[in-house]
Structure 1
């Protein structure tokens, strides 16, 4: 069973693409005439010229909206595609789930005629800058250390990349890990946590004590006092990175 067969059951409710992040991703694709989306999930951020989506979870595929690009159930490490199948290949917040990183990146390079675009995060930066994992979820942060893919390793496998920081808006509509950095109460909602792999994979036992402390700090006003510097910011950089490699 694919991970997102369980994690992805409510994904469409909390993981709606943010238009500002979408604009940055689409700009990184440049003038690509056709795009293949790997680890496509429900189709977030797919540009209109996507010709194929590849996703291992049938639960996620079932949530793709009408009119989405054709989709196939397959894994990144073994793409059922010919060489040079599309101008650009897209892989968004997916590489940390792959069982064979080198094989998966090799496949992306094989099917891309011109460009590979990968959205991931820089774990040391994420750990340092994101208050939730730094202060409340050290055990989950340790889990993230094990699954995160180093930017340098990705750059090596991709044959060199251009890096772009992806800032997270304070009202981000896509409920990924750090999306609620200025809306801390959201992390107490199990429906929100259900769409964030950090919570689902770390397990309730690892995150429950930290969430209980967060609830106490929100009730007492301590969180707002400690993080008053965040409350006036429109966006922050907590380590999400867009990597662009030319094929």
Structure 2
């Protein structure tokens, strides 16, 4: 997991645009069924943490911890590669939209396996995500370490006993502001507050981000975006490549 430095700089406004989508949350809860104790790693502001069981959160960035709402699960400032918990301390470990940011994926997965009987990971299959139309406007994102070296589902299977992989299509009216949420609402990417809630765009140098915004604004004004991708506005869901990976002990 990142040591927190990244999200100390890009995370202060995260909670304004990142709210859990109830349909995605239902899929996560289903994968966690039967787990009474849960460790949420890379927990951020607490999105997708269930409120009907014992939860402990792990998050390295103070800026993210400060945005956890009142009543959220207790949180520990730590990194996934060195979790301060005993063996099999939890029924399940949850990691949502975080594994691509870990410094050492193998070490982090080994720690999830050590502290929890089941592991549930919501992640992007990178080859699908790299084909998203947004990369046409912000090509520099492809060279970011978090994207260029993002693990695939197959990589997770090299370290965990994976027994289920489920596609998680993104609804057309997704309420969470992750990068794939606005696949049919390109105008949202013109909003700096929206971009600030997405690590992939928040990491870009200002000049690269500005170039991408200009390209997108111009294509929207000219109708070029709709000529290429307008059919997306008619769809109810879209497969950005998000996958729910479940490993370890089964029910």
Normalising by the residue count of structure 2, what TM-score does the alignment of the two structures yield? 0.93
1:114-152 deviations in Å (ceiling 9; x for gaps): x10001101111122x2111x222221232542311221
Distance 1:70 1:161 in 2: 30
Size of the aligned set, in residue pairs, is 244
Offset of residue 220 of structure 1: 1.3
Structure 2 segments unaligned to the other structure (5+ residues): none
Alignment match of 2:113 (pick from 93, 109, 120) = 109
Aligned position for 1:138: 139
1:25-61 deviations in Å (ceiling 9; x for gaps): 1111121111110110000000111420000011111
Alignment match of 2:42 (pick from 32, 39, 44) = 39
Are residue 118 (structure 1) and residue 141 (structure 2) matched?
no
Aligned position for 1:191: 193
Runs of 4+ aligned structure 1 residues displaced above 3 Å come to none
Normalising by the residue count of structure 1, what TM-score does the alignment of the two structures yield? 0.94
Structure 1 segments unaligned to the other structure (5+ residues): none
20-29 vs 223-232, which deviates more? 223-232
Secondary structure of the residue aligned to 1:157 is: coil
Distance 1:13 1:62 in 2: 13
1:52-201 to structure 2, matched below 5 A, reads 52-113=56-117, 115-128=118-131, 130-133=132-135, 135-143=136-144, 145-201=147-203
Aligned CA-pair RMSD: 1.4
Secondary structure of the residue aligned to 2:234 is: coil
Secondary structure of the residue aligned to 1:88 is: strand
Offset of residue 222 of structure 1: 1.7
